[in-house]
Amino acid sequence: MKKVHLLHIGVGNVGRQTVKQITVQRTALKAATGLDLVFCGLFTNTAGVFKKAGLSKLDIAGFPNGSKADLKKAVTEIPLPFIVIDTTAADMTLPLLKLALKRGGSVVMSNKKPLSGSQDDFDALLKHGENRVLFETTVGAGLPVIGTLADLLKTGDDIESITGCFSGTLGYIFSQLQTGTPFSNAVKIAKSHGFTEPDPRDDLSGIDVTRKAVILARLIGQKIELSDVKLQSLYPAAMARLSVDEFMKALTELDQDIAEKVVAAKTHQKVLRYAATITPKQCSVGLENFHIDSEIGSLRGPDNIIVIRTRRYHDNPLVIKGPGAGVPVTAAGVFADIIKAAEAIPS
């Protein structure tokens, strides 16, 4: 039996579901793997609870009511062996993750920011080894993307290209475009279904996809900053200054241009997609045409897809496809990483 302490930062939608999945599965996991996962700390932006000896069921069920433990103190004091889990979308966790690693702990992140900030920060995290720094859910949520890529690299394969659609929101919008819906309408429908961020520009800027592309590019050996990515935003810079309401109205100005692109693609048996392409020397994110029968061209709706071509997977690529967002699958991906990190801790 190996006891591993958990400190969870960012107990929001995904975080709360992760805690729930682990709590439900705890006994079965103990029996199957000998791992005893013990929550010692839970934190949100504004609340926190921490007990070195482990939280009780009541502590967990009652969180965050009235709790206000100190996060940095918790990272400093949580007993080894431990894992710090970061399911925030914040920059500010980076020093805490570094501290955790320095103390000999492991970290599991769904948070893309610490890994897609500066190359130096990425290197500072990864130097502790891939068994102590896990982040499968940063690309494609629970889909087995990062782990698969790591296996290819470790066994000496050469990555030729990674192409993919990593935004369920944009996937949904581009499926709508394909059926003739104007761009502005497609965005409105997506927004009304809650598929976009509150400000849809957070999706349409491509910055979220770019962060994922940077993580993949770094994994295959590029030294790259966010600003190095050839990024094509779906709206002109001038629209950045508008309020959300103004922006939603102004979107119709973009309809004709995008409709023309959709039609032009169609005349060549192709479809327009918002895709990321990473090679050992390049990284680009933006509009691209794919043949209607290709892997990416045949993608429908909000699914993510990743198409990996390597020296060994050259003629026929390795393809992984499925929901790349959503609370239960992302939480399960974080949970799977926690198990892997815990198993890798020497007993």
Residues lying near its own copies in the complex (CB under 8 A) are found at 21, 24-25, 28-29, 32-33, 129, 131, 142-144, 147-148, 151-152, 154-157, 293, 295, 298, 301-303, 312-313, 315-323, 328-329, 332, 335-336, 339, 343-344, 346-347
Residue whose CB is less far from its own copies, 257 or 293: 293
Shortest Å, Cβ 155 to its own copies: 4
Nearer to its own copies, 54 or 317 (CB): 317
The token pair at 9 is 């930062």
H or E element: which one contains 159? strand 159-165
Is 212 assigned a catalytic role? Answer: yes
Residues 6+ apart with CB under 8 A from 336: 136, 142
Which of 242, 180, 169 has its CA nearest to residue 206? 169
Separation between Cα atoms, residue 62 and residue 53, nearest integer Å? 17
Q: From the CB of 146, what's the least distance to its own copies, in Å?
A: 11
**In angstroms, what CA-CA distances link 338 with 108, 171, 228, 235?**
6, 29, 32, 38
Taking 3-state DSSP, the helix, strand and coil percentages for the chain, each rounded to the nearest 5, stand at 45, 20, 35
The CA angle 156-219-21, to the nearest 5 degrees, is: 105
Task: CB nearer to its own copies: give 59 or 343.
Answer: 343
CB of 160 to its own copies, least distance (A): 14
Catalytic residue among 112, 113, 191, 212: 212
Q: Which is nearer to its own copies, 153 or 239 (CB)?
A: 153
Strand, helix or coil for residue 172: helix
Cα gap 261→101, rounded to integer Å: 48
* 8 Å CB contact between 69 and 50: yes
Provide DSSP, 257-273: HHHHHHHHHHHTTEEEE
Helix (H, G, I), strand (E, B) or coil at 30: helix
- How far apart are CB 296 and its own copies at their closest, in Å? 12
Q: Which is nearer to its own copies, 157 or 228 (CB)?
A: 157
Residues facing 287 on adjacent strands = 274
Smallest gap from Cβ 205 to its own copies, in A, equals 25
Output the CA torsion 263→265→271→275 (10° steps). Answer: -120
Q: How far is the CB of 110 from its own copies (least distance, A)?
A: 14
Q: Given the complex with its own copies, which of 120 and 151 has the nearer CB atom?
A: 151
Q: What are the residue numbers of the active site?
A: 212
